[in-house]
Amino acid sequence: MLTDKVLDNLPFSIRRRLEPYIEAVQVMTETSNPKVLRAMAPSGVRGLILQRGKQGVPTKMPSHHQTHFDWTYPNDQPEMRDLYTRAKEQQWNGEDLPWHIDVDPENPEVPIIPPEFMSYDELRGMGIKLTELEKHRLNASVGAWMLSQFLHGEQGALFAAAQVTEAVQFFDGKLYGSTQVVDEGRHVEVFHRYLDTKLNKLYQINDNLFVIIDALIQDSRWDLKFLGMQIMVEGLALGAFGTLYQMTKEPLLKELLKKVIQDEARHVHYGVIALRDHFQNELSESEQREREDWAFEVALLMRNRFLSYEVYEEWFEHKITRKQWAHMVSHSPGFEIFRQVMFQRLVPNLREIGLLSDRIKPHYERVGLMQYFDGRSADHLSGDELIAELDAA
């Protein structure tokens, strides 16, 4: 690409300054649907260009949704009522996790993520030779980075769940939504406690994750909030948690993730049943097209850009280019598995809510995501089944 050639010819210090912005422009220009671009561009500017999530002050995001009251209290969605009952029965207390376990993130015997997660050979090819201790530390950093992003995502989910509970028009959905707000609060609590007291390290929010949260919190359309949070973020989180659950040897984190995954399975299930009928019956063709494209763009953003740049900035910014890092991370064994499991969960849910029409399928095919098309969607998969599947894998 032309920009790559220009970048390659720039002095390292100049390149380092420009690279994130050129990448941001690339992300935005790659969006083909103008409505999606219009909806996402302000969030893109705030997240990728102005880096509002990293300015060191609380971020204030206005919300534009309507709160939907119903004074007749209808029993309108039995499947949601059932989820509500299950959610009440399955509440757990974050205090009960085995917090007494002493966590040493650098202990190679009990790694947070497996030693072969990153591609050290490729790093060596770039002139970076790490000692064994440095490798353990880098792995611990990547683990802390992933968990930090989970935490930031959970904060987004907490507020989005509250907004969705206000905006949704199903009364049973509102009751269920109240449990999800509690769930997300608990997730924030346990992830934060783990990072704070066990890893004592917290990374800034990834700019791309900020863009997604910013876009869906500020969007006035309830179904887009639902799609963004319940299907995309929660779905991808479910995949990410599952991957980490499988990979980690750290017993406290494993137990924590097991509990969180069981909650998340309900959350995605709720998203699927709330959106399925709405997308198939209530939306015009162009509205449906816009949501399809939005979901595809967000999926791509998560797949291509969620590359632990904050770890790069911490460790290697003075040594290699952002592009080199992105290449290394994209091809590292851990991230490949990570992406695979994430989309294995996401794609069947998109199919189930009707956002994988014949029009969009070739796009998913092109980026290699159609292989997950026939998987089981969240409404056919309980938390226990998910854990059993992960344990068996």
Q: Which residues bind other proteins (CB under 8 A)?
A: 13, 16-18, 20-21, 49-52, 54-57, 60, 102-107, 127, 129, 131-134, 137, 140-141, 144, 148, 196-204, 310-311, 313-319
Closest contact distance (angstroms) between CB of 20 and other proteins is: 7
Kindly tell me which of 319 and 323 has the beta carbon lying closer to other proteins: 319
Q: Would you call 21 helix, strand, or coil by DSSP?
A: helix
The answer to whether 125 touches 219, Cβ cutoff 8 Å, is no
Kindly tell me which of 42 and 368 has the beta carbon lying closer to other proteins: 42
Q: Which long-range contacts (CB under 8 A, 24 or more apart) does 284-288 make?
A: 286/35, 288/354, 288/355, 288/357
CA distance 142 to 392: 25
Q: What angle do CA 378, 381, 384 make, to 5 degrees?
A: 130
Kindly tell me which of 148 and 165 has the beta carbon lying closer to other proteins: 148
CA distance 162 to 66: 12
Closest contact distance (angstroms) between CB of 145 and other proteins is: 8
Closest contact distance (angstroms) between CB of 279 and other proteins is: 35
Closest contact distance (angstroms) between CB of 235 and other proteins is: 26
Q: Which two tokens stand for residue 218?
A: 């500020």
Q: Which two tokens stand for residue 28?
A: 């935005």
For 12, 27, 134, 307, the CA distances from 7, given in Å and listed in that order, are: 9, 16, 30, 20
Closest contact distance (angstroms) between CB of 123 and other proteins is: 13
Closest contact distance (angstroms) between CB of 310 and other proteins is: 4
Kindly tell me which of 82 and 314 has the beta carbon lying closer to other proteins: 314
Kindly tell me which of 50 and 388 has the beta carbon lying closer to other proteins: 50
Q: Would you call 10 helix, strand, or coil by DSSP?
A: coil
Kindly tell me which of 10 and 390 has the beta carbon lying closer to other proteins: 10
